[in-house]
Amino acid sequence: MAITRYQTCGDIVNRVAVEVGLRETSDVFASSDDAIIQLRTLLTTTLQELMLLHPWQRLIREFQYTTGTSESGPLDLPDDFAYMIPQTGWERSSNVPLIGPLAPQAWTYLLGRDLVGSTIYASFRFDQDKFYVYPSTPMPDALDINFEYVSRNLIADDGATTYSDVATVHADVVVLPIHVVTRLLKVKFLDAKGFDTQKATNEYNMALDSEIGKDNSGGILTVGKNRFGGYYLDGFRNTPDTGFGT
């Protein structure tokens, strides 16, 4: 990933600082100015909130694990694991989807009924920051477990190949969309100071909608006829002239 496309934590804090009437500083993490301290603290909050808000394509990673002979679970999740992207789990040796994550009720039902021989074995749940496969004592041999997840690696540490989700150094590089980051950081700063946030919030919402729409490609939706000759939008069936929202 080329980090030259992105901006540093210091650049982001200084950009918002100038917008709200503060002075730039050469090192925002060495500054003793209360407003700058607040901005740099809110930057971490902003980044972590945006990470949870949308599965940004630049944060998507793949988890892969092959179970060994007589191996018992649970499996450790990656250090940067934030959350799994729904419906991306597959057991590729048998080409079947992973079933889950199961709710506690469904998981305890499997355990209570001991359905190892009569159920889909590629079932899973998350518990205590671990990945559990059913059955797990032992797990079936040579399961090829795969799924995509969102990483907590929001910030590239300065001069290193390591990442984190906490802003601590002026030159650390933020890998999320900068315009969205600055708009939300500004909202949070104004709100913390007790100022009106309506205009800033509108700007943030516009930036967020725009970036999410451009973050990944999508299929073209047609409102023409389907292969059976019917229209997708039908005024007699699914798009009446009145009654919307009732």
Range with lowest mean pLDDT among 28-32, 92-96, 103-107, 237-241: 237-241
Higher pLDDT among residues 47 and 110, named by residue: 47
- Any idea where the domains of the chain sit in the sequence? 3-56+153-213, 59-151
Which of 98, 95, 134, 140 lies closest to 113, judged by CA? 134
Q: Is the pLDDT of residue 3 over 50?
A: no
Q: 69-83, 121-135, 178-192, 208-222 — which is least confidently predicted?
A: 208-222
- Element housing 44 (H / E): helix 34-53
Average pLDDT over residues 90-118: 82
Distance between CA atoms of residues 155 and 44, nearest Å: 10
The residue that leads in pLDDT, 122 or 27, is: 27
Question: Which pLDDT belongs to residue 166?
Answer: 93
Comparing 30-44, 112-126, 206-220, which segment has the lowest mean pLDDT? 112-126
Calculate the CA dihedral of residues 203, 205, 208, 213 and round it to 10 degrees: -110
Structure confidence by residue, pLDDT tens digits, 154-212: 999 876 778 999 999 999 999 999 999 999 999 999 999 999 999 999 999 999 999 99
Better pLDDT: 72 or 205: 205
Out of 2-6, 27-31, 162-166, the most confident range is 27-31
Q: What is the pLDDT of residue 113?
A: 79
Amino acid at 42: L
Angle at 215 between CA 60 and CA 170, to 5 degrees: 70
pLDDT at 175: 93
Question: What pLDDT, on the 0 to 100 scale, is given for residue 107?
Answer: 84
How far is it, in rounded angstroms, from Cα 56 to Cα 36? 28
* pTM attached to this predicted model: 0.81
